[in-house]
Amino acid sequence: MTAKELAEKLHEIARAGTLAAARHLAPELQPLVDAYNAGEINLAELRERAADVFAANEARIDFIVKTQRRMAQSLGQLAAQTPGQVARYPAWRLVRGGTRMVPRNDWLRRWVAAGSATGWQGACRDDFVALKSSPIWAALGQGAGGFKDAIGNPFPPFAFGSGMTWERVSRAECDALGLVEEEADNG
Amino acid sequence: MADITVDIDTPQLDAISRRLEPSARAELHREIAAEISETVRGHLRRYALTHHATASRLGARPTGNLEDARVDAASDSSGATVTVAALGIRRALGPLEIRPRNKSALTIPVAAIAYGRTVAYLRNSGIDVFRPKGKNYLATTEGKGKEAKVVPLYILAKRATLKHEPDLLPTREALAANALEAARDYIMEGAA
């Protein structure tokens, strides 16, 4: 797969993800989430106004809003992938994106389960790094290994309430990690 | 809107862009926008992990404002724009004065339970919030009878100034250098 083809594939994931994301969110919260995403209101105001229109406690409101917001972040990131970005940064590393009062400590198990389920194609066994084309990302999102809190997307957040995200990994680091890409077709 | 745009055009980037046909220039700008948006995104993520001074001081859960910041990239043949939307992001460029909107005063939380929550929200949650006579803060009561004590929740202020936080974003020089590297890679890839 060429860099251009992979970038297009990532765009397709973003398009499909956008439709799926729209189904997750309670529609009555959408205007408030949009305002929060745009930085027009803060979380305190969102909680107050959401409580007026959505019969749920703070924990549930936060849960929906933050999940939706993080999905939007990932979708924007995927949609912005270019052939140049894919060529210079062929992989992602799973990293912590936000602090948690009680963080999950099972990401190694999740990674190993997802890697085992996909034959470690394009993925490192001893680092949370995998090529952007690796099927491990979809397996992680599907909860490989029996994790029932998986959201079902091949992009962060991979589990409900998760603060994990991904960051790009340079070609030089991929080479050092021994991650091998499929031969590119330059035709 | 709580967003900012930083101009990173340089003579070198301009020189590269001018030599290209419009369609190639659009592709170049798209590459630059993607590079800058990823750079900013990564920077904000790392910054958010280590900057929760207020929440930490109060023993409260961070709101995740920076962690959830939206970074959008847009481009065409005339240029590239990366927009960062997050409350208070403008303090990356200088001190930021905030004033109350539709209220007579700002409510600055000084207790964990007040952090990330409005007065109305606390009251709707069943928490009594009142202004002690002669005081410039809002409070609640904990305990009953003789053991009851007044616990400050919010300080009232007409305005507040958020200090300049230049480290909130990558420097202009770093962004320009990243943009130039992306531009050179684009040119080299085209020449290959």
In this predicted model, what pLDDT tens digit does every residue of A50-89 receive, in sequence order? Answer: 887 776 677 788 888 888 888 888 988 898 899 999 999 9
Domain housing B106: 100-158
pTM of the model: 0.84
Residue A40 has pLDDT above 90, yes or no: no
User: Does A4 score more than 60 pLDDT?
Assistant: yes
Reported as a pLDDT band with limits 50, 70 and 90, residue B1 is very low
Q: For A48, which residue in chain B has the nearest alpha carbon?
A: B121
User: Could you report how far apart the first and last alpha carbons of chain B are, in Å?
Assistant: 43
Chain B residue at shortest CA distance from A187: B192
Of the three residues A87, A116, A149, the one that is the final residue of a domain is A87
User: Are residues B124 and B180 both part of a single domain?
Assistant: no
More confident residue, B46 or B4: B46
Q: Do residue B185 and residue A87 have CB atoms under 8 angstroms apart?
A: yes
B186 and B105 part of one domain = no
Tell me the percentage of chain B whose pLDDT exceeds 90.
42
Q: Work out the angle at residue B158's Cα, subtended by the Cα atoms of residues B157 and B159, and round it to the nearest 5 degrees.
A: 90
Tally of structural domains, chain B: 2
Q: CB-based contact (8 Å) between A102 and chain B? A: no
Please report which residue ranges of chain A form alpha helices under DSSP H.
Answer: 3-24, 30-37, 43-53, 58-79, 83-88, 107-117, 136-141, 171-177
Q: Which residues of A touch B5 (CB under 8 A)?
A: none
Q: Is A187 on the interface with B (CB under 8 A)?
A: no
Nearest to B108 by CA among B86, B137, B128: B137
A70 in the same domain as A111: no
Instruction: Look at the alpha carbons of B137, A32, B165, A99 in this order and tell me if their dihedral is positive or negative.
Output: positive
Residues B8 and B24 in one domain: yes
Tell whether the model's pLDDT for residue B4 goes beyond 70: no
CB B38 within 8 A of CB B72: no
Are the beta carbons of B124 and A77 separated by less than 8 Å? no
The verdict on A116 and A94 lying in the same domain is yes
Residue A184 confidence (pLDDT): 45
Predicted local distance difference test score (pLDDT) of residue A186: 41
The mean pLDDT value for A1-5 works out to 86
Residues B87, B67: one domain? yes
Inspect the interface and report whether the beta carbons of A38 and B118 lie closer than 8 Å: no
Q: Residue A67 sits in which domain range?
A: 1-87
Residues B14 and B80 in one domain: yes
Q: Are the C-beta atoms of residues A155 and A74 closer than 8 Å to each other?
A: yes
What's the gap in Å between the CA of A50 and the closest CA on chain B? 10
pLDDT single digits (tens) A6-15: 888 888 888 8
User: What whole-number percentage of chain B has pLDDT above 70?
Assistant: 95
Q: Is the CB of residue A72 less than 8 Å away from at least one CB of chain B?
A: yes
Is the predicted pLDDT of residue A187 greater than 50, yes or no? no
pLDDT tens readout for residues B101-127 = 888 899 999 999 999 899 998 998 889
Residues 6+ away with beta carbon under 8 Å from A120: A136
Please identify, among A56, A87, A118, the residue that sits at the C-terminal boundary of a domain.
A87
Contacts of A38 in chain B (CB under 8 A): 1-3, 70, 85
pLDDT of the residue at A99: 59
pLDDT single digits (tens) A96-105: 876 555 666 7
B4 three-state secondary structure: strand
φ/ψ of B86, rounded to 5, equals -165, 140
* A184 in the same domain as A153: yes
Contacts of B64 in chain A (CB under 8 A): 43, 66, 98
Whether residue B123 is found in the same domain as residue B35: no
Distance between CA atoms of residues B192 and B181, nearest Å: 16
Mean of the pLDDT values across residues B147-152?
A: 92
Average pLDDT (B134-145) is: 93
- Final residue of a structural domain among A87, A120, A139: A87
Asked if residue A77 and residue A94 are part of one domain, the reply reads no
Within 8 A by CB and 6+ apart from B4, the residues are: B83, B84, B89, B90, B92, B93, B169
Instruction: Indicate whether B192 pLDDT > 70.
Output: no
Same domain, A73 and A97: no
Please say if the pLDDT value at position A167 is more than 70. Answer: yes
Sheet holding B70-76, edge to edge: B3-4, B79-85, B70-76
* pLDDT one-digit tens code per residue, B171-189: 988 999 999 999 999 998 8
**B183 and B108 within one domain:** no
Q: Indicate if B32 and B82 belong to the same structural domain.
A: yes
